[in-house]
Amino acid sequence: MKTRSPIVSVLGHVDHGKTTLLDHIRGSTIASKEAGGITQHIGATEIPMDVISSICGGFLEKMNIQEQLPGLFFIDTPGHEAFTTLRKRGGSLADLAILIMDVTEGFKPQTYEALNILKSSKTPFVVAANKIDKIPGWNSTKGECFSKAVQNQHKNVVFDLDQKIYEIVGTLHEEGFESERFDRVSNFASQITIVPISAYTGEGLPELLTMLLGLAYQYLNEQLQIEEDAPASGTVLEVKEEKGLGLTIDTILYDGVLNKDDRIMMLTKENKVISTKIRSLLKPKPLEEIRESKTMFEDTNQIVAAAGVKIVAPHVDDVVSGSPLKVANDDNIRVEDELLSEVDNIRIQTNDIGILVKADTLGSLEALVNILDSKDIPIKSAEIGDISRRDIINASIMYEEDEKYGVIIAFNVNILPSAEDELNDQNIMVFQDRVIYQLTEDYLNWVNSAKERQKKAKLASIIRPSKIRIMPKLVFRHSKPAIAGVEIMSGIIEKGVTLINDKGHVVGRVESMEDNGENLPKVSRGSQVAMAIGDAVFEKDFEEGDVLYVDMSERNFFAINNELKDKLLDDEILTMEELQEIKQETEDSNWGVINTDWSELDTLDEDEYEDFY
Ligand SMILES: Nc1nc2c(ncn2[C@@H]2O[C@H](COP(=O)(O)OP(=O)(O)OP(=O)(O)O)[C@@H](O)[C@H]2O)c(=O)[nH]1
């Protein structure tokens, strides 16, 4: 057994300083070469303990931390959001995390997202409140520990910083975490530590690294014990083409040992297990040698966790980023089962009806599905890979079931050209964003605004009460259609409505209304227009001087009562009452008496809705 370095990932919003922090940590360690320097891995950087001790000065002793760990192993997060969701068996690939934020900006969408991911993967983390040197009046000293640097500041500057820290404490509290500035933490087991730093000047880095080590000692004892000669386990970061080498797999090993002649198993985008034999194991060359030889990598025969390694092997085209990687030299079936059970672990509950989800890696798919689940958004299918024509067709089938599920939520994937064409022909929505949590928000906002739009459309289609009078001596045409001069006596009348007389008989449908040669779609009280009434015959269906009412169904009547009544004018209300009287006398003595709630209308399907109108 040996203790490996804890794997640390740096998460945070765009531009809040992830790269600068990692660069600074690397930079300071390169500078302190005599202390042993760093090991550059594929996709990661390892800082040995003696280097950390030299950066942290007396802090480690002060914290009473024994030097038991080989160092800290930082995954190179920047520019690759999917890293935030890399997983290993039973949780996140990272054992520890730094949640970094710009102290002058506080929480931003990706900060919330990172926090959610840390919460759901239960990864212990430290908050780095970065860019303290940007606080107006801050007096920087390169590489200084925060505890000393803060003594060099004017009291107003310290006050400013504290205000900002307390805002972060407040937001963390709302998100379910108790936290404090590291030097005021009373209980390390229940409070998250916040370390003010500048990734730029290096201020506060000693404390940041010390706090990480503190977390490692507190939480990670067993997790870090590995068997040095056990077959390796790892997580695939990326499959990528490398000049002269073909397809290679960048992998982080978190357990065991990988040998050059090992056979390995990984998962494909289709969740199938592939088995392949390693051709070569590569690690980065030291910087000076890269300059001389221009080749970036060197061969190695064996590599022990924790480590980042580039693997050259055939048949790896379909391997998915985030896939587990395992050595399978003898008991292939067992290893295959283990891999498949990892996929099952990503518990994706699918429904008959729901949205489609696409993501680039197993980890990001899992994170996305978890967030959608927590918001009770049903998922029809969740898959890795670009959006294909088949996805668009499947989403359009869902659209037929329910408009709000005719949707694809996609993280870090592209729309294939053939799918673009199909998409143009369909009504479905594709949501794409680099922030997982933003995708869910956008989708929910869209669903809500669609509901609002539907409601507005329903309101707009309610027929309003209105009555008209056929003016004497102004019947211009007797039939097909009958055309007469009319006066609008109440309400607003729209083209297309049906008119009835005071005996409840249908007179005809308003085909058009005209005034001074102008065609009018709707006309309001007091106007006089020439009205064409289809199917009506003068002196059979209506006479000069007749008062005619706009006809409506009983449900429309209730809809007005429930939704529009306070918007009606007195004369319109009167017209409603007159219409009700006519209906009660001619159709049903209870017409318009038993009210049905409008909200029921929201649950009507299309046919019922048509019926209603
Ligand atoms: N003043 C100051 N600027 C900083 C500090 N840390 C980072 N910056 C600047 O902020 C900008 C963004 O920093 P990055 O390190 O690239 O941020 P990032 O989080 O890696 O950004 P992405 O990789 O795009 O997500 C750069 O211009 C940095 O120089 C800091 O402590 N102080």
**DSSP H or E segment with residue 581:** helix 570-586
Taking the centre of ligand 1 as the mean of its atom positions, its distance from the CA of residue 504, in whole angstroms, is 76
Taking the centre of ligand 1 as the mean of its atom positions, its distance from the CA of residue 317, in whole angstroms, is 34
Residues in CB range of 114: below 8 A, 6 or more apart: 11, 12, 13, 84, 97, 99
Q: Ligand 1, residues 11, 13, 19, 98: which to mutate, most atoms within 8 A of Cβ?
A: 19
Query: For ligand 1, what atom is nearest to the CA of residue 22?
Result: 15
Q: How confident is the model at residue 599 (pLDDT cuts 50, 70, 90)?
A: very low
Residues in CB range of 418: below 8 A, 6 or more apart: 388, 389
Taking the centre of ligand 1 as the mean of its atom positions, its distance from the CA of residue 491, in whole angstroms, is 63
Q: For 247-256, how does the pLDDT look when each residue is reduced to its tens digit (9 = 90+)?
A: 999 999 999 9
Question: In the predicted model, what is the mean pLDDT of residues 172-201?
Answer: 94
Instruction: Output the residue whose Cα is nearest ligand 1's atom 25.
Output: 14
Tell me how far apart the alpha carbons of residues 314 and 21 are, in angstroms, rounded to a whole number.
36
Q: How confident is the model at residue 395 (pLDDT cuts 50, 70, 90)?
A: very high
Taking the centre of ligand 1 as the mean of its atom positions, its distance from the CA of residue 128, in whole angstroms, is 13
Q: What are 255's two structure tokens?
A: 């357990």
DSSP string, 338-367: HHHHHHHHS-----SS-EEEEESSHHHHHH
Instruction: Output the residue whose Cα is nearest ligand 1's atom 6.
Output: 17
Instruction: Output the residue whose Cα is nearest ligand 1's atom 32.
Output: 131
Residue 310 has pLDDT above 90, yes or no: yes
Binding site feature residues for GTP? 12-19, 76-80, 130-133
Instruction: Output the residue whose Cα is nearest ligand 1's atom 9.
Output: 17
Q: Give me Rg for the CA atoms of the chain.
A: 35
Residues with CB under 6 A from ligand 1: 12, 14-20, 78-79, 130-131, 133-134, 198-200
Q: For 345-359, how does the pLDDT look when each residue is reduced to its tens digit (9 = 90+)?
A: 665 667 889 999 998
Q: Domain 465-585 class?
A: mainly beta
Instruction: Output the residue whose Cα is nearest ligand 1's atom 21.
Output: 15
Q: Do the domains 1-224 and 465-585 sit in the same CATH topology, yes or no? A: no
Q: Ligand 1, residues 11, 20, 200: which to mutate, most atoms within 8 A of Cβ?
A: 20
| Residue 306 preceded by cis peptide, ω within 30 | yes
Taking the centre of ligand 1 as the mean of its atom positions, its distance from the CA of residue 597, in whole angstroms, is 56
Q: How far is CA 372 from CA 174, 356, 488, 490, in A?
A: 20, 11, 54, 51
Tell me how far apart the alpha carbons of residues 570 and 568 are, in angstroms, rounded to a whole number.
7
Residues in CB range of 473: below 8 A, 6 or more apart: 544
Residues in CB range of 298: below 8 A, 6 or more apart: 282, 283, 284, 285, 289
Question: In the predicted model, what is the mean pLDDT of residues 528-542?
Answer: 95
Q: How confident is the model at residue 462 (pLDDT cuts 50, 70, 90)?
A: confident
Q: Where are the domains of the chain?
A: 1-224, 231-340, 349-457, 465-585
Q: Which residue has the higher pLDDT, 28 or 594?
A: 594
Q: What are 23's two structure tokens?
A: 């660069």
Which residue stretches of 241-326 are H helix?
287-293
Taking the centre of ligand 1 as the mean of its atom positions, its distance from the CA of residue 581, in whole angstroms, is 74
Q: What are 432's two structure tokens?
A: 């794409």
Share of the chain above pLDDT 70, in %: 88
pLDDT, residue 410, reads 94
Q: What are 375's two structure tokens?
A: 């918001």
Question: In the predicted model, what is the mean pLDDT of residues 178-207?
Answer: 93
pLDDT, residue 612, reads 46
Q: Which residue has the higher pLDDT, 243 or 146?
A: 146
Residue 99 has phi, psi (to 5 degrees) of -95, 110
Residue 359: half-sphere exposure toward Cβ, Cα within 13 Å = 24
Residues in CB range of 374: below 8 A, 6 or more apart: none
Query: For 349-457, CATH number?
Result: 3.40.50.10050
pLDDT, residue 425, reads 82
The CATH T-level fold of domain 231-340 is: Elongation Factor Tu (Ef-tu); domain 3 (2.40.30)
pLDDT, residue 173, reads 97
Q: For 553-564, how does the pLDDT look when each residue is reduced to its tens digit (9 = 90+)?
A: 998 898 888 878
Q: What are 477's two structure tokens?
A: 């045409």
Q: What is the ipTM of this complex?
A: 0.97
Tell me how far apart the alpha carbons of residues 596 and 613 are, in angstroms, rounded to a whole number.
14
Q: Contact 171/156 with Cβ under 8 angstroms?
A: no
Q: For 54-100, how does the pLDDT look when each residue is reduced to its tens digit (9 = 90+)?
A: 777 766 666 655 557 888 999 876 444 544 556 666 567 889 999 99
Taking the centre of ligand 1 as the mean of its atom positions, its distance from the CA of residue 8, in whole angstroms, is 19
Q: Which residue has the higher pLDDT, 196 or 290?
A: 196
Query: For ligand 1, what atom is nearest to the CA of residue 78?
Result: 23
Quote the crossing angle between the two packed helices 417-425 and 389-401, to the nearest 10°: 20
Query: For ligand 1, what atom is nearest to the CA of residue 199?
Result: 31
Q: How confident is the model at residue 322 (pLDDT cuts 50, 70, 90)?
A: confident
Q: What would be the CATH architecture of the domain defined by 1-224?
A: 3-Layer(aba) Sandwich (3.40)
